[in-house]
Amino acid sequence: MLKVERIQVFYDAIQALKGLSFTVAQGEIVTLLGANGAGKSTTLKTISGLLQPRGGQIELDGKPLAGSAPHEIVRLGVAHVPEGRRIFPRLTVLENLKIGAYTRHGAAIGDDIERVFALFPRLKERARQSAGTLSGGEQQMLAIGRGLMACPRLLLLDEPSMGLAPILVEQIFAIILQINREGVTILLVEQNAAMALAVCHRGYVLETGTIILEGKASELAGNDRVRQAYLGG
């Protein structure tokens, strides 16, 4: 479904991605692991069009994405839940969800809002409140709910468990499994490697802008290097 080929991405003169390649097949959950600053968020931003690669290319369903603007990529069925929530603080919770469905029209939007409320009842209670007044964890739920509102075929999640209480982390990963079962392909970036490896099918390990390791979830979980660096020994 998604094929990333030798992409090179720069911030001015700093090269953040040094010829990165990986694939995500239809229906998979694939995780990207890596230390702080390895280039995980940069990878997602490049897929969603916020950054343009200087070299290499990205294909979605066999078609190159080169030069497409972020809003066009959303229309192709790719939703990106960015790192740090990035909800619209002065829109209400409900407005945030509606704007998540900006590319869609019709009555199904109302049903999907109810679906998000069913996943996150907290959001329903606070539907008319401005999103900036939510707690950090609630904002994270809103960011994920907003991403789902686009009805994506491919969902890019950047640290969805960040700042959440352990019970909520479990809940978020349960939701990730559930939406994957409903047919959504997922590319997951996580600091919580144990959880990520528990839900994903395959994974890649990034280090300073390149892939150093790849494999099935079980293989990675059994790999000494991964265990030492990301699973706490």
Contacts for 231 with CB less than 8 Å, ≥ 6 apart: 193, 194, 197, 221
Question: Which of 21, 52, 103, 223 forms a contact with other proteins (CB under 8 A)?
Answer: 103
Distance in Å, CB of 3 to ligand ATP, minimum: 20
Residue 16 interacts with, from Mg ion, ligand ATP, other proteins, none (CB under 5-8 Å by kind): ligand ATP
Question: Which of 15, 52, 55, 83 forms a contact with Mg ion (CB under 5 A)?
Answer: 83
Q: Is 100 in the site for other proteins (CB under 8 A)?
A: yes
- Residues in region 34-53 near other proteins by CB under 8 A: 48-50
Distance in Å, CB of 42 to ligand ATP, minimum: 3
The phi, psi pair for 135, rounded to 5°, reads -70, 165
Q: Is 74 in the site for other proteins (CB under 8 A)?
A: yes
Closest by CA position to 1, among listed 41, 28, 21: 28
95 is written with which tokens? Answer: 């407005």
Q: What is the size of the binding site for Mg ion (CB under 5 A)? A: 2
* CA atoms of 67 and 120, how far apart (whole Å): 36
The phi, psi pair for 29, rounded to 5°, reads -115, 120
Residue closer to other proteins by CB (options 121, 136) is: 136
Residue closer to ligand ATP by CB (options 117, 204) is: 204
The single residue listed with the structure tokens 């069009």 is 49
Q: Is 95 in the site for Mg ion (CB under 5 A)?
A: no
Residue closer to ligand ATP by CB (options 173, 230) is: 230
Q: Is 214 in the site for Mg ion (CB under 5 A)?
A: no
122 is written with which tokens? Answer: 């907290």
Query: Are 31 and 203 contacting, i.e. CB atoms less than 8 angstroms apart?
Result: yes
Element (H, E) at 23: strand 14-24
* SS3 (DSSP) at 207: strand
Q: Could you list the residues that contact other proteins (CB under 8 A)?
A: 48-50, 69-71, 74-75, 79-80, 82-91, 95, 98-100, 102-103, 132, 146, 150
